């Protein structure tokens, strides 16, 4: 037989594109259109529907950036269409390649009932099949003219990312507003040919199956009359029946499809627009569920359900009904799909507490899986948090984006830093926006790493990022791929059903230990410094507020603000969404985040002050009470306690030398700051050891060019290190305040002022840095070259720390050239170490070099301070920033933990004369209390969460500072799991390395 394969395949493409698809709507009539442009922010539905309309024609421009236009379309179904299926085809000016990233709409009936969403891949609304014709049609469209920011040439700076700078130029032209006859036979033929054509393209040319499909397609195309596609579509479909009914092989891979629309809670749109995106998408999905009995849809993020409940109750009613039917599935169990690198211990725990509690309260459902398809790396603490939150499975897809190393598994056990394991799956389709195309399905099969051990994978199916969800075309593909020779078997089912089957068949899956590091998007640890500082400050203010409110409630009858804490926690958790906290959203989002953090901070400070006032005693006594919210004692004040302020310690000596340098000494540490404002010596007087590497200087600010290959706010590429400018020029270096060194320097368009302080009685150098930053596409770091030989560093993460290599032996080590740390980075030789602690940074890097002079090792720790990408926010980080960090020579890992908390939880002084004993206390400093609060159920029980912080075993006792009736161990949601023995008001504890323990204490 002659090989005419390429000719037939080219014929298929042209006939589909130019003849069959255009025949979907063989007849149409225009609708009459009127428009009302809302003058400001979105208005309530009833107001939008009632507003007076102005006529508008197809082809007319509409929609300023971030505007809302209410269209009304009216018309009459022609009498001659009686009995035929009619749809309204509504094209707002869509580019079909940008679903979720441009204009969108939500369609309503005249009574305000939502019908479905409108987007570039979903431009239709079914009118029905009127028996007689003449039916009147009236629909209202709430259309959002969201501008396109990520265009075909991506990452171009734009002012469209904030309503304040976007201007008023119309963004779109109305394209089509018609009533049309929908030819179902043609539509089905399109689906047949698309599925077979895509499958055929993935099969080997040596495969008989490919040629069988080719000949069937050829016969079908012969059967189509190109001048009467509708009249011959059924005949063409008959030619495809045999190849479409051939069953899949018994060994075919099984794909569990699940309807999905990953909706970023903010990204290239503001939070308020996400509220509407969720309403549009869920309207679409509930409508599709009514039409398609085999369809199952999953949605994560309790916050998004809460938004619909609050802002679109009519949509939420449909969602609740579909959830009750078991076909609209809440998944994930988190408040939002948060970043997991940067949120603190309690915050990551509370993501599950508030998320799960919402799903249980609203639907009576407790999700068992964690659903984080798009987050930028996954903390090693997550498995234990997941398990203690009552979940058992984990899903992500993002690790497939790694630039350097291909992750070796798709289904595996993930072991966290404490040894907890969670069953984990990565969809081998390598997308969370699957369309179930032939290419995607074939890729899933070929890519699946578990062949021979497992047979299943999952495919989140639907348009996402900006929403949209699953389409009828995707469901049509799934029906044809359910049992089709040459393809994997595709079936829609709940994620829980997939995980149960996958777990059952692959219980002895391989194990991955430690963090799931994404070898991409490393700059998300630094971009938008004010957002990160707002998060860190809010987390610690929440800790303080809960601690002192609980103490005051038990000791002084203070009214514990349950509802305020619930609201404030949810506000902070929302801003930890994986495009907000990482600094990758538009300017509008980060401007609003700053405003929200300011309001959160003010309200929490008010709660703290009220609680402390209730505890402090006589404000007129002429003394001050010092409150210590840190989990370790300091200045003689126990953790979680307060005492009347004592006198200051002995003064620190400060000397100005003739060579322009300065020497600070406090009996524990001697620090030399040279005339450039750099630390050239930090000598540990106790250990008789120098901290700074020979010939090097610390507190060195370094500036790099920063123009990654793509993903500006997300990425920093390794080549940024090739060029560096050391900022050594100074305007002034001087002694101030009797014991600190003040350094002022300017560079580029920016200015920095630093205060270097050696506290009395502390082996620590505090550095307070204020930067007035006006650079573009630059990366600012601060360097500490240390005389320490260490092949690994310890970086704090939630409920512990993890180790990363300082060397680049393997490509896996080398890829971690920028990583995450919370309050400290620590490195050590046996018996002596150094910590660098901070109050608001997350990104850091460590490099090592061997000195020629003495063959010693210089290990340089650098904190990442500021960046200046221009997309998606062209003025990222411009303005004044303040950072506090410290160098701690001679630090053990326990010292690093203590000093990290100290710099983030400064003492508070309140007028008064009281001594406030801790509400709870722990005898061992290795055991850190992360939360003291009253139980969320309003019972008045005291809840304490703590963990082992040093990576070793700990035996200790927790003492209650109140009469204790009973105690129990709990999960993160404060549900008792076992009784705890309490004797004499104390509970004996035995903790494994990094183990988290939650206790519920019942007062007498």
Mean pLDDT of the chain: 97
Q: What is the pLDDT of residue 646?
A: 82
In 3D, which of 669, 636, 639, 640 has the Cα closest to residue 652? Answer: 669
Handedness of CA 833, 834, 838, 844 (dihedral sign): negative
Given a cut of 70, is residue 210 above it in pLDDT?
yes
pLDDT bin (cut points 50, 70, 90) of residue 364 is: very high
In 3D, which of 566, 572, 584, 570 has the Cα closest to residue 534? Answer: 572
Q: What is the pLDDT of residue 647?
A: 67
Q: What are phi and psi of 688, to 5 degrees?
A: 55, 55
Q: Which range, of 51-55, 328-332, 387-391, 632-636, averages the lowest pLDDT?
A: 632-636
pLDDT bin (cut points 50, 70, 90) of residue 4 is: confident
Q: What is the pLDDT of residue 51?
A: 98
Average pLDDT value for residue range 462-483: 97
Digit-coded pLDDT (tens) for 159-168: 999 999 999 9
Instruction: State what percent of residues in the chain have pLDDT above 90.
Output: 98
DSSP per residue over 105-140, as a string? EEEE-TTS-EEEEEBTTB-EEEEE--SSS--EEEEE
Q: What is the pLDDT of residue 131?
A: 77
What is the C-alpha to C-alpha distance for residues 95 and 118, in angstroms, rounded to an integer?
13
Write down the residue that tokens 């076992």 correspond to.
Answer: 978
DSSP per residue over 39-76, as a string? SSS---HHHHHHSPPEE--TT-EE--TTEEEEEEEEEE
pTM above 0.85?
Answer: yes
Centre a 10 Å sphere on the Cβ of residue 847 and count the other Cβ atoms it contains: 16
What is the C-alpha to C-alpha distance for residues 801 and 826, in angstroms, rounded to an integer?
10
In 3D, which of 31, 43, 32 has the Cα closest to residue 68? Answer: 43
Tell me if 914 sits within 8 A of 907, measured CB to CB: no
The residues, any chain, with a CB within 8 Å of residue 293's CB and separated by 6 or more, are none
Helices and strands in the chain: count of H runs, count of E runs:
19, 54
What is the C-alpha to C-alpha distance for residues 361 and 253, in angstroms, rounded to an integer?
38
Centre a 10 Å sphere on the Cβ of residue 1002 and count the other Cβ atoms it contains: 16
Given a cut of 70, is residue 220 above it in pLDDT?
yes
Chain-centre distance for alpha carbon 88 = 37
The residues, any chain, with a CB within 8 Å of residue 206's CB and separated by 6 or more, are none
Digit-coded pLDDT (tens) for 264-304: 999 999 999 999 999 999 999 999 999 999 999 999 999 99
Looking from the CA of 314 toward its CB, the CA atoms found within 13 Å total: 15
Digit-coded pLDDT (tens) for 74-129: 999 999 999 999 999 999 999 999 999 999 999 999 999 999 999 999 999 999 98
What is the C-alpha to C-alpha distance for residues 161 and 588, in angstroms, rounded to an integer?
6
In 3D, which of 784, 785, 781, 818 has the Cα closest to residue 701? Answer: 781
In terms of Cβ atoms closer than 10 Å to its own Cβ (0-12, 13-18, 19+), residue 627 is buried
The residues, any chain, with a CB within 8 Å of residue 523's CB and separated by 6 or more, are 706, 708, 713, 714, 715, 716, 818, 843, 867, 869
Q: Which two tokens stand for residue 733?
A: 């270096």
pLDDT bin (cut points 50, 70, 90) of residue 648 is: low
Who has greater pLDDT, 739 or 504? 504
Instruction: State what percent of residues in the chain have pLDDT above 70.
Output: 100
Would you please indicate which residues are annotated as catalytic (active-site) residues? 374
Q: What is the pLDDT of residue 129?
A: 86
- List the 996-1003 sheet strands across, edge first: 927-934, 942-948, 996-1003, 964-970, 976-980
pLDDT bin (cut points 50, 70, 90) of residue 739 is: confident
Q: What is the largest CA-CA distance in the chain?
A: 105
**Pairing assessment for the beta strands 411-415 and 511-513 based on DSSP bridges:** parallel
Average pLDDT value for residue range 639-655: 86
Q: What is the pLDDT of residue 649?
A: 60
Cα torsion for 161, 162, 166, 167, to the nearest 10°?
Answer: 170
């Amino acid at each position: 037989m002659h090989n005419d394969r390429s000719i037939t395949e080219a014929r298929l493409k042209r006939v589909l594109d130019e003849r069959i698809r255009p025949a979907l709507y063989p007849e149409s009539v225009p609708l009459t259109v009127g428009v009302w442009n809302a003058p400001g922010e979105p208005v309530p539905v009833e107001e939008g529907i009632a507003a007076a309309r102005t006529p508008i024609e197809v082809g007319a421009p509409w929609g300023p950036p971030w505007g809302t236009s209410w269209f009304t379309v009216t018309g009459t179904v022609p009498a001659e269409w009686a009995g035929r299926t009619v749809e309204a085809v509504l094209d707002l000016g869509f580019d079909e390649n940008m679903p979720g990233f441009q204009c969108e709409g939500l369609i309503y009936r005249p009574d305000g009932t939502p019908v479905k969403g409108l987007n570039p891949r979903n431009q239709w609304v079914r009118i029905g099949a009127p028996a007689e014709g003449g039916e009147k049609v009236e629909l209202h469209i709430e259309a959002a003219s969201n501008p396109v920011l990520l265009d075909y040439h991506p990452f171009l700076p734009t002012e469209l990312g904030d309503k304040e700078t976007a201007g008023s130029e119309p963004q779109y032209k109305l394209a089509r507003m018609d009533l049309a006859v929908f030819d179902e036979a043609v539509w089905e033929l399109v689906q047949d040919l698309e599925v077979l054509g895509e499958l055929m393209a993935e099969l080997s040319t040596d495969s008989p199956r490919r040629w069988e499909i080719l000949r069937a397609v050829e016969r079908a195309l012969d059967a189509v009359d190109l001048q009467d596609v509708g009249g011959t579509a059924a005949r063409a479909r008959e030619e495809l029946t045999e190849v479409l009914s051939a069953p899949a092989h018994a060994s075919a891979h099984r794909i569990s499809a699940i309807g999905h629309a990953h909706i970023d809670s903010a990204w290239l749109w503001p939070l308020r627009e996400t509220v509407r995106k969720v309403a549009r998408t869920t309207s679409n999905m509930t409508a599709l569920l009514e039409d398609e009995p085999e369809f199952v849809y999953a949605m994560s993020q309790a916050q998004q359900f809460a938004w619909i409940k609050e802002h679109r109750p009519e949509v939420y009613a449909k969602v609740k009904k579909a959830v009750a039917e078991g076909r609209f599935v809440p998944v994930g169990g988190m408040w939002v799909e948060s970043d997991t690198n940067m949120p603190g211990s309690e915050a990551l725990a509370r993501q599950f507490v508030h998320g799960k509690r919402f799903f249980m309260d609203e639907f009576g459902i407790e999700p068992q899986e964690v659903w984080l398809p798009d987050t930028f790396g996954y903390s090693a603490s997550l498995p234990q948090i997941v398990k203690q939150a009552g979940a058992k499975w984990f899903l992500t897809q993002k690790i497939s984006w790694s630039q350097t190393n291909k992750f070796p598994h798709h289904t595996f056990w993930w072991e966290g830093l404490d040894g907890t394991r969670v069953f984990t799956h990565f969809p081998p389709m390598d997308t969370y926006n699957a369309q179930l195309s032939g290419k995607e399905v074939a890729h899933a099969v070929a890519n699946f790493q578990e062949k021979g051990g497992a047979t299943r994978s999952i495919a989140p199916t639907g348009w996402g990022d900006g929403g949209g969800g699953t389409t009828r075309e995707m469901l049509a593909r799934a029906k044809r791929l359910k049992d089709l020779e040459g393809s994997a078997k595709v079936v829609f089912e709940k994620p829980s059903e997939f995980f149960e089957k996958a777990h059952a068949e692959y219980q002895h899956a391989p194990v991955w230990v430690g963090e799931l590091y994404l070898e991409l998007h490393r700059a998300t640890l630094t971009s938008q410094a004010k957002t990160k500082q707002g998060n860190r400050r809010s987390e610690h203010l929440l800790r303080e507020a809960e601690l002192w409110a609980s103490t005051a409630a038990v000791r002084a009858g203070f009214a514990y603000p349950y509802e305020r804490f619930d609201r404030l926690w949810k506000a902070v958790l929302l801003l930890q969404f994986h495009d907000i906290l990482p600094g990758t959203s538009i300017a509008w989002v980060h401007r609003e985040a700053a405003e929200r953090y300011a309001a959160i901070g003010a309200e929490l400070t008010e709660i703290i002050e009220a609680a402390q006032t209730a505890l402090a005693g006589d404000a007129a006594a002429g003394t001050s009470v010092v409150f210590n919210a840190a989990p370790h004692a300091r200045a003689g004040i126990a953790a979680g306690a307060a005492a009347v302020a004592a006198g200051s310690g002995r003064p620190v000596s400060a000397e100005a030398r003739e060579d322009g340098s300065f020497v600070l000494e406090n009996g524990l540490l001697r620090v030399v700051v040279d005339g450039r404002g750099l630390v050239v010596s930090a000598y540990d007087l106790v250990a008789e050891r120098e901290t700074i590497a020979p010939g090097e200087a610390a507190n060195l600010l370094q500036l790099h060019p920063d123009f990654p290959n793509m993903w500006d706010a997300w990425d920093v590429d390794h080549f940024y290190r090739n060029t560096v400018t050391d900022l050594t020029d100074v305007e002034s270096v001087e002694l101030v305040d009797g014991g600190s060194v003040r350094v002022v320097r300017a560079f580029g368009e920016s200015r920095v002022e630093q205060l270097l302080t050696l506290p009395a009685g502390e082996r620590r150098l505090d550095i307070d840095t204020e930067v007035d930053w006006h650079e573009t596409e630059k990366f600012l770091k601060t360097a500490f070259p240390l005389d320490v030989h260490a092949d690994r560093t310890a970086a704090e993460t939630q409920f512990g720390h993890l180790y990363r290599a300082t060397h680049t032996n393997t490509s896996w080590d080398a890829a971690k050239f920028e990583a995450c740390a919370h309050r400290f980075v620590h490195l050590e030789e046996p018996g002596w170490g150094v910590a660098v602690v901070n109050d608001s940074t997350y990104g850091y890097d460590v490099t090592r070099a061997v000195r020629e002079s003495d063959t010693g090792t210089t290990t340089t720790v650098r904190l990442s301070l500021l960046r200046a990408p221009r997309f998606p926010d062209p003025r990222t980080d411009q303005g004044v920033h303040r950072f506090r960090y410290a160098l701690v020579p001679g630090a053990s890992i326990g010292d690093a933990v203590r000093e990290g908390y100290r710099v983030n939880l400064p003492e508070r002084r309140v007028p008064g004369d009281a001594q406030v004993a801790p509400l709870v206390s722990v005898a061992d400093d290795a055991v850190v209390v992360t939360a003291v609060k009253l139980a969320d159920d309003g019972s008045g029980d005291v809840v304490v969460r703590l963990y082992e912080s040093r990576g070793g075993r700990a035996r200790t006792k927790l003492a209650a500072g109140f009469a204790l009736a009973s105690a129990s161990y709990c999960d993160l949601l404060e549900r008792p799991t076992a009784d705890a023995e309490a004797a004499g008001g104390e509970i004996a504890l035995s903790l494994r390395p990094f183990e988290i323990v939650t206790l519920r204490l019942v007062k007498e």
